Homo-oligomer: A and B are copies of this chain.
Amino acid sequence: MASTNPARGMRDFLPADVRKRDYVLRVIKQVYESYGFEPLETPSVENLETLMGKYGDEGNQLVFKILKRGEKLDLANASKESDLSDLALRYDLTVPLARVVANNKNDLPKFFKRYQIQPVWRADRPAKGRFREFYQCDVDAIGSSSMVVEAELLSAVSEILRRLGFEDFTIRLNDRRVLTEILDTAGVPDELHTDALVAIDKLDKIGSEGVAKELSDRGISDQASAMLMEIFAKTQEIHNQESDINRTIVANLINIVSNETLSELGQILKFAPKAPVLIDPSLARGLSYYTGAIMEITVPDLAGSLGGGGRYDGLIGMFGKEQIPACGFSLGLERILVVMEERGMFPPEIAESTPADVMVTIWNEETIADSLKLANELRSQGLRVTLYPEPDKLGKQFKYADQINVPFVCILGESELAESNVTLKNLRSGEQATVEQSEIVTLVRLPEKIA
């Protein structure tokens, strides 16, 4: 017999889970739309070549690849993975966006502001809060190099988190060029920059000793590594001690980083005054396509981030003839849900939701059509109505309604049918009353009238 568990790292969402997920997604969509972002959806499956080479070596390994089909699958002559696979599962929403922008250049406005909320798949080792299928809630603005874009993205995601009830989040902000100039200053050769960034990206997870070891493993000299760690340690000190942190950090970078980059960071701070931004020169972000600002949202009680993003002015050019500037942010639905669940942040109507407002019982075989008719009448008046599917003892029908958390039942027995009325029972208070069918909607919506 086949196992009944979902595949490794994947999850089933039962109704109570889906309602919580939908609640968060509704808030995210509403805020993205209030900022003028438009919805986009792309296929779950992309041509393998679309994804390869966009996420760095570690990313390439984590892409789920789909087996060729039929005659295309020539097992006898296959000597490597790429002989076997032509398609792959979406790894993020940014590369597909870049492909869509290149593919629809003439149909899209010159500034294309889109949001996209879809699952992505990564063949990562599953861990607490890390799944192989998870939702990204992306928002991107294509076509402008202005820091207005970064600022609007940070305002929008801050607004979302506040509406969901988060008060203690921090947006860490950096710029890939800050890192580049720090790496240059520390004497890391150009060809090792990517390796260095992959290592530095793990600072939160493995600490400075871990990063120093990985830098060394990747061929970066101890001297360069020590200088990097010193620069980041100084930042950490400022984070811990200063009152005007961002100003102090920028001042501290003046001799290392170009004025233009520092001025752009300053603009983002100025244009998004309500976003809780903290400049962090050690923030690296794993993905290889970022070219400018990078950002990440953290809360104290979650290892890892609630979301992140950045500017990727070179990615769309990989698909088209033209370089088009772009910047985006991605919220991680699962991370947000984990924290909201642990903190009990869901509003009561979501946490205690019911599958229906009322359940109609079935008295006996002969009255089935009458119960169906009543259920449809109540639905046409706007109630959510479930029907017990077969004749059964009333006690068992009540018990079932209670089990699925439906607050009211309608009883349509022989006497009710004879007198053209309905007995309405409030399962929470135990009260019941025989009423006209036309009264039911009001009584269910204002239960104090019979309770």
Contact = CB atoms under 8 A, between A and B. Distances in A.
Interface of A: 1-7, 10-15, 17-19, 21-22, 33-47, 49-50, 61, 64-67, 69-70, 73, 75, 78-81, 84-85, 87, 89, 96, 99-100, 102-104, 107-111, 113-114, 119, 121, 123, 132-133, 141, 143-146, 148-149, 151-152, 155, 159, 270-274, 318-320, 355-356, 359, 362, 368-369, 372, 376, 379, 383-390, 400, 403-404, 406
Given A133-B43, A368-B271, A148 B22 contact: no
A379 B34 contact: yes
Contact of A389 (B3, B141, B372): B141
A66 B69 contact: no
A7 to B, nearest CB: 5
A159 B385 CA distance: 14
A319 B84 CA distance: 31
A160 to B, nearest CB: 12
A46 B7 contact: yes
- What is the oligomeric copy number? 2
B113 A386 contact: yes
A113 B388 CA distance: 11
A7 B87 contact: yes
A272 B387 CA distance: 14
A390 B325 CA distance: 13
A18 B100 CA distance: 14
A118 to B, nearest CB: 9
Contacts of A22: 39
Contacts of A13: 40-42
A90 to B, nearest CB: 10
A7 B133 contact: no
Nearest to A119: B44
Q: Closest 8 CB pairs between A and B?
A: A36-B386, A10-B43, A4-B103, A15-B38, A146-B390, A18-B39, A144-B389, A36-B356
16 contacts: A1-B318, A1-B319, A2-B318, A6-B42, A7-B45, A10-B43, A12-B40, A13-B42, A14-B107, A17-B41, A35-B384, A67-B85, A73-B81, A75-B78, A146-B390, A270-B369
A80 B84 contact: no
Given A36-B384, A45-B7, A151 B372 contact: yes
A76 B295 CA distance: 44
A64 B50 contact: no
Contact of A121 (B7, B45, B400, B403): B45
Contacts of A111: 388-389, 400
B39 A19 contact: yes
B146 A45 contact: no
B385 A271 contact: no
A119 to B, nearest CB: 6
Contacts of A85: 67
Contacts of A42: 6, 12-13
A386 B33 CA distance: 9
A149 to B, nearest CB: 5
B389 A149 contact: yes
B44 A44 contact: yes
Nearest to A360: B36
Nearest to A110: B400
A155 B376 contact: yes
Contact of A7 (B4, B14, B43, B143): B43
Contacts of A119: 44
A5 B104 CA distance: 9
Contacts of A47: 2-3, 7
A410 to B, nearest CB: 13
B67 A84 contact: yes
